Amino acid sequence: MKIISLIATTVMAALLSACMNTVVTTNTATDPFNEGLRKGYSAFAASERAQFDWIDGEHFANKANAAASGARVLPENVADWSLKPAKASELSAARARLVAVLDANARTRAPADAAEAQVAFDCWMEQEEEGWQTADIKACKDRFDAAMGRLGAGGSANVYLVFFDFDRSNLSPVASRVIEKVVADAAKANPSRITVSGNADRSGSDGYNLALSKRRADTVAGALTRGGVARGKLQVEWFGESRPRVKTPDGAREPENRNVEIRFAN
């Protein structure tokens, strides 16, 4: 039985390898940031395939090819990965810092470091989901922290993003863990003001999206106050679809734009 099982496992691995063997392009991306992503994701895909992780290898090979084609390639979403609650909270806060620094012109100001930070973040996420190669987890996290430091973002957790499902204003489990992180960090940092800014994508009318973004901001503000943040420190605002993180045509659904941004100010 053991021999049969071993043969079956070997055959299955070979079939997976044959089915999941996207060729990573060697074409250089015209944009320096995307070229950094192409190289980084290509190397990561090759590493995962060498460890017989065909599924993740395929996934990151596709991200490498998308970057080479000039597509907008974003960091992995925390909710898409199976993580322990504490790790999901840590990675959610890290992703918010990463997205904030990328959107603050890091893609053009320092494209190599920005691409390294994004690839290292995705590496950290993938390794945390596997959860057993502690040296690899640390290596990816250290790469992320080093790149963020070079970008001037260091370990400062003063900006957070809470994401929402389509047409919803309730907190998901991942969003609740981000709120817990904000409450804990606010207790340590004691900011003089915390700005809570609600946003929506462009899938509804202007008026509907403005009201939806307000409900999202109110939901987050309420969760923060229940967690112990003084209501007087909160500046609650909402912008509807007028401040998209990702520019889209009118009517488009875009998960990155369904958010509440939380910022500390001293």
Domain match, 251 and 172 both: yes
Residue 73 placed within a domain? no
Closest CA to 98 of 38, 148, 56, 36: 148
Residue 48's pLDDT is 94
Angle of the 85-101 helix axis to the 111-130 helix axis, nearest 10: 170
- pLDDT at position 12: 47
Which of 116, 150, 184 terminates a domain? The answer is 150
The helix or strand, by DSSP H or E, that contains position 145, with its residue range, turns out to be: helix 134-150
Quote the domain boundaries for residue 40: 2-68
Mean pLDDT of the chain: 88
pLDDT of res. 153: 60
| Structural domains in the chain (count) | 3
Least confident stretch, 23-32, 149-158, 185-194: 149-158
Q: Looking at the domain assignment, is residue 221 inside a domain? A: yes
For 78, counting Cβ atoms within 10 Å of its Cβ (0-12 exposed, 13-18 middle, 19+ buried), the class is buried
Same domain, yes or no, for 126 and 220?
no
228 neighbors 187 (Cβ within 8 angstroms): yes
Residue 261's H or E segment, with its range, is strand 259-265
The reply to whether 143 falls in a domain is: yes
* Distance in angstroms (rounded) separating the CA atoms of residues 87 and 137: 11
Tell me which residue has tokens 């509807």.
Answer: 240
Residues 30, 34, 36, 39: is their CA dihedral positive or negative?
negative
- 128, 150, 172: which is the final residue of a domain? 150
Query: Can you give the pLDDT at residue 96?
Result: 83
What average pLDDT does the segment 64-81 reach?
94
pLDDT at position 19 is 53
